[in-house]
Structure 1
Amino acid sequence: MAQTERDARAAAAATLLGPLSERGIVAVAATFVDNSGVARVKAVPLDRLPHLAAWGVGSSVSFDRFRFDDWIAGAGEGREVVGDLRVMPDVRRVVPLSAQPGWAWTPADRYRQDGVPHDQCNRLLLSSMVGSLAAHGISMKASVELEWVVGDDDGTDDFTPAVRGPAYGLARLVDGSDYSRDVLTALAGSGVVVEQFHPEYAPGQMELSVAPEDPVSAADTSVLVRTVIAGVGARHGFRTSFSPKVAVPGVGNGGHVHCSLWRGDQNLMAGGPSEHFGLSAEGESFAAGVLAHLPALMAVGAPGATSYLRHLPSHWAGTYACWGLENREAAVRMVTGSPGATAMAANIEVKCFDLHANPYLAFAGVIAAGVAGLASNARLPDPVDVDPAVLPDAELAARGIKRLPTSLREAVVAFAGDAVIREAFGGPLSASIVAVRESEIELFDGVSDQEIAARTRWQR
């Protein structure tokens, strides 16, 4: 990184000091997300922000091998403790945290000490994947749906819903009205545009949707929203869980990815042939690429043992590798929006991902798969207009509809065997992802579903 760039970064950060100080900010937290989906942080006092922007702050290379419980999945050579990186904030987005007075947040990239981008920085990877789309003259709008449950903080790790009432019920919203108001107020104060908020299916569960953005910003927003929601919950005496399976049995939390492709002002998910619900040829190729590589993408989009406790047929988890119009049991759901709004609203939703995923890796993987589909002019199979779980095995086989991986082990095997995704991620990052997943598989070998859910319940 050249000195001129460092000077420009410091100068940009310096312009923020006055406005942030006026809002009572005393410290800035810079986050990156590890391969287990955990947001890690380095923080500095506010007056150190320009120095942080120019030079970053040190961070061990070992974070690439951190498991969700902070165990380091080493390769047995002891090299994980050697070396240092620089956590460099993106000062274009420094956000005061309304639920945590005195604190601001910023997403960060990771660089080597010599200023060269770290080859395992997932945020920089996503930026490069966005560039690969741009090479086709295409941009993307994306967002992550967030589902979570709020539990009473009773001093144990057990779960008791903190808000009560039926699924999608007004009674639950009334019971949690003060909490819900504070969530929406804090998100608005942090610059997040919430498009929808409602009680969800499981006990104590809520969901919100945010406005689409470019993929890097959308991944940043996913991290920010979770931080704000957890902060509001803590102020109410609640614990917040984004786990794919909070309790067994029960419906889990998803982290559905929405995306649409654009060439200028034209939505490539609309305006095409009616037999594909308006998908253009390029939109179809992209969606076909995503569908073809979904088994491997499960290793990043559904990255933990708990993810596969959620992946049950007929639970709206998208457990079959198929697609369909507004089919909530298909792994890829085509969303057209209401007539008259299709040109703006049409998108595809990847339903099989959850919020233990690193959002930067999830988006990077989706783009890599989609770009491969564009390169090969891939075509979609026939859409599925029923819950695939009700189809006889013979019909599933005849239509080429397969179950997605049913365990973390199957997902890792699919990832290791997918040259497109591994090449896009690069050798070092792919190796770290496999090592962390293998370590979790070993950790939970022979452990009951209930124990797995309990040990990952509060992971974030």
Structure 2
Amino acid sequence: MTTLADPVPGGRPGDVERAGALSGELAGRGVHGIVLAYVDTAGIGRVKTIPTAKLASAAAWGVGMSPVFDTFLANDSIVTTDVLGSPDGDLRLYPDLDQLVELAAQPGWAWAPVDRITQEGERHPGCSRTFLRRTVQEAAAHQEITFKAAVEIEWAVARPPDADGAFVPAVTGPAYGATRQVELSDCAAELLAALARQGVDVDQFHPEYAAGQFELSVAALDPVAAADRSVLVRQTIRAVARRHGLAVSFAPAVSGQGVGNGGHIHLSAWRDGVNLHAGGDRRHGMRPEAESIAAGVLGHLPALTAVTAPSPASYLRLKPSQWAGVFTAWGRETREAGLRVITGMAGHRDQAANLEVKPVDLAANPYLALGCLIAAGLDGLAKGARLPQEITGDPAHLSDAEGVRRLPTSLGEAVEEFRTCRPLRAALGPVLADAVIAVRQGEIGAVAGLDDDQVAAAYRWKY
């Protein structure tokens, strides 16, 4: 479970006492510090840490942090909006005790995601985790719909970079190959063991297509917990790799050419314990609500890319005919379409059916990405939207006249789509929506004049 109540000064009922007990238990197991984790608008994981003995104080009064981090770029430069980016003000970080976990690959440390509130005890309008939680709560309250989600993790394993930061794959086996799995065998086994100790339910782990690339899939959870898990899994992958003398990159592209790292999102809508993507009379068993949600996501996909593919390096990955999903098209099990409808195996569809959103990478803040996808789906639900004609095969061979549109080919194009998308901007609110635009514009400026290889190098070790 995820704590769904907003933090309050003095602590939520029972939190301070619970934090005190947890602090004692962790200390007894040799845990000396707790990582308080959040993700900024640029998609960079940022942290503050506290001694384990201070957990009860953090549950009561939070831990201080400047609001300026909402407008950090990936290179640590700072941009501004009309309310963010100044040196003024303070926020309080509150750990979610339900998600607190001892880090198996970092002895002596525990980890918890945080929500951020103001010193006056109000929700911080720039907190992406709060945005996702509120979006989920409103869907449950007004439409009686809940969601399950999972974020796929793709990464490239490398030898530790020299001063020039070059990427040198740590394994040489072929795509999806048994040789590559053997080459990473010890590290991979430790990773699976660490994730199991942390309560992460892994569905699959395998070598992927690109040089040195692997993928890990986890079980679906409520969206806030799914975003938390995405952050935790990456922290664990990085820590295990380091213990084996390896480096990892979750960047959308580690080079200017070839297949990049994705972060596909799986999403399903439920009502009263029933999966709305199965057992219905619409195409492929969808119920009317599921089709409208899918149509809302598909219709807003060009604007969504400003959130799901937020880095200039994202557009090195988003190329046709590379299974990146760069067209506004949908189909059952069509991996080239921007939206893939998954029905699952016969006999298991009531549990397995879901949507896979393809143009997503791990430069995306998972809280922003999931919140915006759900908001887009709810907009489609409110309008009773219907899906257009389904496609089969590679949409790169279809024409605009056939209803298939290429997604933005640059971050600048994506930002312009986002600017004019009222449903997404309204869902985010003006403070967070303006932060998204400002940070994206800052990233565009940071790589102005660079070629593809230089853009890839600029972000290679940031994520």
Q: Which of the five TM-score ranges fits, normalised by the shorter chain?
A: over 0.9
User: Aligned equivalents of 1:154 and 1:285: distance in 2?
Assistant: 47
Preserved contact between residue 161 and residue 247 of structure 2 (Cα < 8 Å): no
Q: How does 1:256-405 map to 2 (within 5 A)?
A: 256-273=264-281, 276-391=283-398, 396-405=399-408
Which position in structure 2 is the counterpart of 1:102? 108
Amino acid at match of 2:211: P
SS at match of 1:106: strand
Preserved contact between residue 303 and residue 421 of structure 2 (Cα < 8 Å): yes
SS at match of 2:180: helix
Q: Which stretch shifts more, 374-383 or 17-26?
A: 17-26
Amino acid at match of 1:379: R
Cα drift, residue 331 of structure 1: 0.4
SS at match of 2:65: strand
SS at match of 1:104: strand
Which position in structure 2 is the counterpart of 1:35? 41
Preserved contact between residue 7 and residue 54 of structure 1 (Cα < 8 Å): no
Q: How does 1:431-450 map to 2 (within 5 A)?
A: 431-450=434-453
Amino acid at match of 1:184: L
Amino acid at match of 2:129: R
Change (3 A) 1:79 1:104: closer
Amino acid at match of 1:427: P
Counterpart check, 1:186 vs 2:159: no
Amino acid at match of 1:348: L
Counterpart check, 1:222 vs 2:225: no
Preserved contact between residue 227 and residue 366 of structure 2 (Cα < 8 Å): yes
SS at match of 1:197: strand
Amino acid at match of 1:443: A
SS at match of 1:277: helix
Q: Which stretch shifts more, 151-160 or 297-306?
A: 151-160
User: Aligned equivalents of 1:273 and 1:404: distance in 2?
Assistant: 30
Percent identical among aligned pairs is 49
User: Aligned equivalents of 2:137 and 2:82: distance in 1?
Assistant: 36
For these two proteins, the number of residue pairs brought into alignment is: 455
Amino acid at match of 2:270: W
- Name which of 55, 74, 87 aligns with 1:81: 87
Structure 1: gaps (5+ residues): none
Q: How does 1:51-62 map to 2 (within 5 A)?
A: 51-62=57-68
Cα drift, residue 139 of structure 1: 0.7
Amino acid at match of 2:196: A
Which position in structure 2 is the counterpart of 1:146? 153
User: Aligned equivalents of 1:456 and 1:35: distance in 2?
Assistant: 15
Which position in structure 2 is the counterpart of 1:456? 459
Q: Which stretch shifts more, 243-252 or 304-313?
A: 243-252
Which position in structure 1 is the counterpart of 2:3? none
Cα drift, residue 78 of structure 1: 9.1
Which position in structure 2 is the counterpart of 1:203? 211
Amino acid at match of 1:88: Y
- Name which of 130, 136, 140 aligns with 2:143: 136
Q: Which stretch shifts more, 146-155 or 319-328?
A: 146-155
Change (3 A) 1:402 1:3: closer
Amino acid at match of 2:66: S
User: Aligned equivalents of 1:414 and 1:237: distance in 2?
Assistant: 42
User: Aligned equivalents of 1:55 and 1:228: distance in 2?
Assistant: 28
Cα drift, residue 390 of structure 1: 1.6
Preserved contact between residue 320 and residue 330 of structure 1 (Cα < 8 Å): yes
Change (3 A) 1:85 1:2: closer
TM-score where L is the length of structure 2: 0.96
Residues 87-107 of structure 1: per-residue CA shift (max 9 Å, x gap)? 111111111111110000000
User: Aligned equivalents of 1:359 and 1:251: distance in 2?
Assistant: 21
Preserved contact between residue 132 and residue 371 of structure 1 (Cα < 8 Å): no
User: Aligned equivalents of 1:46 and 1:18: distance in 2?
Assistant: 8
Preserved contact between residue 256 and residue 455 of structure 2 (Cα < 8 Å): no
User: Aligned equivalents of 1:3 and 1:199: distance in 2?
Assistant: 46
Cα drift, residue 77 of structure 1: 9.2
User: Aligned equivalents of 2:172 and 2:342: distance in 1?
Assistant: 31
User: Aligned equivalents of 1:426 and 1:413: distance in 2?
Assistant: 17
Q: Which stretch shifts more, 344-353 or 23-32?
A: 23-32
Which position in structure 2 is the counterpart of 1:232? 240
Counterpart check, 1:22 vs 2:22: no
Which position in structure 1 is the counterpart of 2:4? none
Residues 69-88 of structure 1: per-residue CA shift (max 9 Å, x gap)? 11001249996111110111
- Name which of 240, 249, 253 aligns with 1:245: 253
CA RMSD of aligned residues (A): 1.4
Which position in structure 2 is the counterpart of 1:173? 181
Q: Which stretch shifts more, 319-328 or 157-166?
A: 157-166
Residues 173-192 of structure 1: per-residue CA shift (max 9 Å, x gap)? 01110011011111111111
TM-score where L is the length of structure 1: 0.97
Which position in structure 2 is the counterpart of 1:121? 127
Change (3 A) 1:77 1:388: closer
Preserved contact between residue 147 and residue 253 of structure 1 (Cα < 8 Å): yes
Preserved contact between residue 9 and residue 61 of structure 2 (Cα < 8 Å): no
Residues 236-283 of structure 1: per-residue CA shift (max 9 Å, x gap)? 111110011111222100000001111122110011236x11111000
- Name which of 408, 411, 428 aligns with 1:425: 428
User: Aligned equivalents of 1:23 and 1:232: distance in 2?
Assistant: 20
Q: Which stretch shifts more, 24-33 or 1-10?
A: 1-10
Where do 4+ consecutive residues of structure 1 move more than 4 Å? 1-4, 75-79
User: Aligned equivalents of 2:92 and 2:49: distance in 1?
Assistant: 13
